Amino acid sequence: MKVEALMNPRVKSAGTDASVADVVLIMEKNDCGTVPILNWASTLVGIVTDRVICLAVGFRPLPAAGIPITDVMSKKVYACSPEEDVSVALQTMRQRKIRRLPVVDANGHLVGILSMDDIVLRTEDDLGETVKTLKAIYRRPLSKKEPARLEA
């Protein structure tokens, strides 16, 4: 199955001139936790999550409207193409421990977003692969401070 069949084509994005407050408003209005960031040429250059925003606002003595989104966005963005097989997208998500993958065309323009929610809710094919991806994403490395616990 191709990514195009499962992705959400109605993805909301923000420009590099946006503030954290602008992106929070996009998240609130569209009930989403991730917003891709596009440059002046509409090319994907970053991504920001609600968690990143929470941490950014918590550690800066500025209002959200005074924090440029480019200061907090992740500039290392993993993406896939609409023609890519979902299994390849799952592999990227598993290796990078990410739950949402922007979908871009050959020119780097955003055409959708693929989330684990989309995959879990809309696929009935290989749920074993989906579960394996979820386990890899959610597995947390052991803290150096915590001793390993054995499950009974």
pLDDT of residue 119: 83
Residue 116 banded pLDDT, cuts 50, 70, 90: confident
Residue 152 banded pLDDT, cuts 50, 70, 90: very low
Strand pairing class (110-115; 100-104)? antiparallel
Percent of all residues in the chain with a pLDDT value above 70, rounded to a whole number: 81
Helices (H), the chain: 3-6, 20-30, 50-59, 69-72, 86-96, 116-122, 127-138
Return the CATH superfamily for domain 3-138: CBS-domain (3.10.580.10)
Question: What are the sequence ranges of the domains in the chain?
Answer: 3-138
Q: For residue 17, what are the contacts with CB-CB under 8 A and spacing of at least 6?
A: 68
Q: Is the CB of residue 48 less than 8 Å from the CB of residue 34?
A: yes
